[in-house]
Amino acid sequence: MRYRAYARALLPALLLLTGAAPSAPAFDLVPLGVNGGVEEPTSAYHITARGARSGVMCDAGTLAASIDQARRRGRYPRAASRQEVMTSISAYLITHAHLDHVAGLVLASPDDTKKDIMALAPVNQAIADHYFNWSAWPNMGDRGASPRLALYHYRDLEPGGPPTAIAGTGMSVTAYRLSHAGSPSTAFLLQNGSEALLCLGDTGPDAVEGSTRLNELWRAVAPLARQGRLRGIVIEASYPDPVPDARLYGHLTPSWLGKELQTLRGMVGDDTRMKALPILVTHIKPSRTSRSSRVDVSRQLKDLGFFNFIVLRQGRAYAL
Ligand SMILES: [Zn+2]
């Protein structure tokens, strides 16, 4: 009997060592917008380290109205008001300055509280030049046209640089460059202690972009995936297949997403880990034709097999 008690006591530690134990969630994700343009609400992902009071937005294509909608659905149990949810956002991580990724941030800014906008230098520059410039909108930032209202503090992130702490969130972030039809886009690797979550902005496949950005990103995160510390990858699949390469405009389809993930799979070298890794698919562009592209993309991902694809739904809560 003593042996059995001993084994019972030892089992959780053994499971932890072998990685077989189901680990407690490390991140909470609420997608506020999952569309890739044409129809609102567009890309915005509210990410919080489990147990923390403040989190971040990875992109902010939509904000105020979508927060209200998520509140009505009970996604913010501890927050009574929109203002409280807005206040609980410590920083905006902006992948690129296209409108479908920043419109919510600009529109909600008059009601916002002081925050950091964390992005690669060219992205911050584009926000300062094209939105907060007293022409498109009052200058809510601390750069560019005077007077500077300095509600937002721009923080330039060094690509691939050491993790930068995000005050009050328990998380740090590392930015990696992506190629989006030749213009700069970003993947943010968020870390909560030993655990990580990857949030990508718009990106084309390396083969079409003539780039190695995705390859470099996969190389950077493969060790985390191998160790079971990568809790998910938020990534786009903008159009259903087939799309001629010349008409991808810096985006992925299910087949291209599958090819890119096969590259990551090769680097991870552990199919059990790779199969379990949540691939959180988003930024689907509503179709011009009558058939729903969301249905088509979902079916095509399913047909790819192997990977753990989860097509994100707006206003749902995901524990990762
Ligand atoms: Zn976009």
CA distances from 194 to 20, 55, 95, 106, 170 (A): 17, 17, 23, 33, 11
The secondary structure of 197-242 as a DSSP string is EEEE-S---HHHHT--HHHHHHHHHHHHHHTT-EEEEEEE--SPSP
Distance (Å) from CA 37 to ligand 1 centroid: 6
What local confidence, expressed as pLDDT, does residue 264 receive? Answer: 98
What local confidence, expressed as pLDDT, does residue 78 receive? Answer: 66
pLDDT surpasses 90 at 5: no
Query: pLDDT exceeding 90 applies to what percent of the chain?
Result: 86
Distance (Å) from CA 51 to ligand 1 centroid: 30
The average pLDDT across 115-135 equals 98
Distance (Å) from CA 98 to ligand 1 centroid: 6
Distance (Å) from CA 267 to ligand 1 centroid: 28
Residue 76 pLDDT level (bands cut at 50, 70, 90) = confident
Residues 36-52 have pLDDT tens digits of 878 889 999 999 999 99
The average pLDDT across 291-317 equals 95
Distance (Å) from CA 14 to ligand 1 centroid: 44
Distance (Å) from CA 42 to ligand 1 centroid: 8
Distance (Å) from CA 189 to ligand 1 centroid: 19
Distance (Å) from CA 24 to ligand 1 centroid: 32
Q: Residue 309: enclosing H or E segment and its boundaries?
A: strand 308-311
What local confidence, expressed as pLDDT, does residue 37 receive? Answer: 78
Are 189 and 234 a contacting pair, CB within 8 Å? Answer: no
What local confidence, expressed as pLDDT, does residue 3 receive? Answer: 47
Distance (Å) from CA 58 to ligand 1 centroid: 12
Distance (Å) from CA 257 to ligand 1 centroid: 16
How deeply is 259 buried, as exposed, middle or buried, from its count of CB atoms within 10 A (0-12, 13-18, 19+)?
middle
Residue 16 pLDDT level (bands cut at 50, 70, 90) = very low
What local confidence, expressed as pLDDT, does residue 17 receive? Answer: 47
pLDDT surpasses 90 at 289: no
pLDDT surpasses 60 at 18: no
Distance (Å) from CA 283 to ligand 1 centroid: 7
The CATH superfamily of 26-319 is Ribonuclease Z/Hydroxyacylglutathione hydrolase-like (3.60.15.10)
The average pLDDT across 220-241 equals 98
Distance (Å) from CA 7 to ligand 1 centroid: 52
Average pLDDT taken over every residue of the chain: 93
